């Protein structure tokens, strides 16, 4: 009986860690900015799962508020940004958040961040729960 319980616990543990590893956050970085200001954060979200996933929220330890944004062309031809409710990460694919495209906006920084500083970012996924990554301040 003990052997069966150990086998089940091992299977559940391996299955859970395989699911967590199926969505990975890579190459996170952000622009430098002064305390109280706004900045952008960027990264690659890789999905190894055969199902798409959806990022529904972002939280950064270094900011009071965050939003998922996209860059759009306004009617007058200028470029602008607008919040969006979610990001769809394709199955067995990647979604790249980059300047002048999809990105995370960080509002009201809690402290001044300069190149080399770091900030922890959490993304909430519908399928994989909360994921954590580190953003490195570049410029």
- Tokens (6 digits) for 82: 């607008």
The more confident residue out of 111 and 2 is: 111
Contacts with 38 (C-beta within 8 Å, 6 or more apart), sequence order: 105, 106, 107, 108, 109
pTM of the model: 0.82
CB atoms within 10 A of CB 32: 16
**pLDDT at residue 13 in the model:** 43
CA dihedral sign of residues 23, 20, 51, 123: negative
pLDDT tens digits for range 86-134: 999 999 999 999 999 999 999 999 999 999 999 999 999 999 999 999 9
The structural domains of the chain, ordered by start, are 23-137 (2.60.40.1890)
pLDDT tens digits for range 3-16: 433 333 343 444 44
With 0-12 CB in 10 A as exposed, 13-18 as middle and 19+ as buried, what is 25? buried
CA dihedral sign of residues 56, 61, 66, 69: negative
Q: Which of 29, 32, 40, 87 is nearest to 66 (CA)?
A: 40
Q: Where are the alpha helices (DSSP H) in the chain?
A: 2-21
């Amino acid at each position: 009986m003990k052997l069966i319980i150990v086998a089940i616990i091992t299977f559940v543990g391996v299955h859970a860690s395989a699911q967590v590893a199926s969505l990975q956050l890579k190459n996170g970085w952000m622009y430098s900015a002064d305390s109280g200001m706004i900045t952008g954060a960027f990264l690659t979200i890789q999905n190894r799962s055969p199902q798409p996933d959806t990022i529904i929220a972002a939280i950064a330890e270094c900011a009071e508020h965050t939003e998922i944004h996209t860059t759009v062309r306004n009617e007058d031809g200028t470029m602008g940004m607008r919040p969006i409710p979610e990001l769809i990460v394709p199955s067995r694919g990647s979604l790249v958040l980059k300047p002048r495209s999809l990105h995370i906006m960080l509002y009201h920084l809690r402290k001044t961040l300069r190149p080399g500083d770091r900030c922890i970012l959490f993304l909430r996924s519908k399928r994989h729960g909360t994921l954590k990554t580190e953003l490195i301040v570049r410029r």
